Amino acid sequence: MLDLGVVIVNWNVRDLLAACLDSVYADLAGSGLRASVVVVDNASQDGSAEMLAAQFPRTRLIQAANRGMGAGNNLGLRALGLGRGAIPAQAPFAALVLNPDTIIQVGALRILVDFLRQNSKAAVVAPRLFNPDGSLQHAGFRFPGLVQAAFDLFPPQGRLARLSDSPLNGRYPAGAYAGGPFQVDHTLGAAFAVRGEALRDDDLFDEIFPMYCEEIDAHWRLRRHGWQVWIAPAARVIHLGGRSTQQAPNRSFVQLWSSRRRLYQRYHNPVTLAATRAMVGLALRGRIRANHQLSLAGTLTADERAARNAALSAAIRAWQGRRPLPLDEWTNEGIG
User: How far apart (Å, rounded) are the C-alpha atoms in residues 146 and 34?
Assistant: 43
Q: What is the DSSP letter of 87?
A: -
The answer to whether residues 15 and 160 belong to one domain is yes
Which pTM was predicted? 0.91
The answer to whether residues 211 and 122 belong to one domain is yes
Give the range among 190-199, 271-280, 319-328 with minimum mean pLDDT.
319-328
pLDDT for 242 equals: 63
The answer to whether residues 232 and 293 belong to one domain is no
pLDDT for 246 equals: 66
**Boundary-marking domain end, from 220, 242, 264:** 242
Check whether 65 has a pLDDT greater than 90: no
Check whether 136 has a pLDDT greater than 80: yes
- Residue 262 structural domain: 248-334
**Boundary-marking domain end, from 212, 242, 272:** 242
**Boundary-marking domain end, from 222, 242, 262:** 242
Check whether 274 has a pLDDT greater than 70: yes
Q: Give the domain CATH number at 188.
A: 3.90.550.10
The answer to whether residues 137 and 115 belong to one domain is yes
Helix locations, the chain, DSSP H: 14-29, 48-55, 69-79, 108-118, 146-153, 214-224, 249-267, 270-296, 302-319, 327-334
The answer to whether residues 190 and 294 belong to one domain is no
In angstroms, the first-to-last Cα distance of the chain is: 31
The answer to whether residues 268 and 322 belong to one domain is yes
The answer to whether residues 252 and 303 belong to one domain is yes
The answer to whether residues 65 and 212 belong to one domain is yes
The answer to whether residues 109 and 218 belong to one domain is yes
Q: How many domains does the chain have?
A: 2
What does the pLDDT average to over 91-109?
A: 97
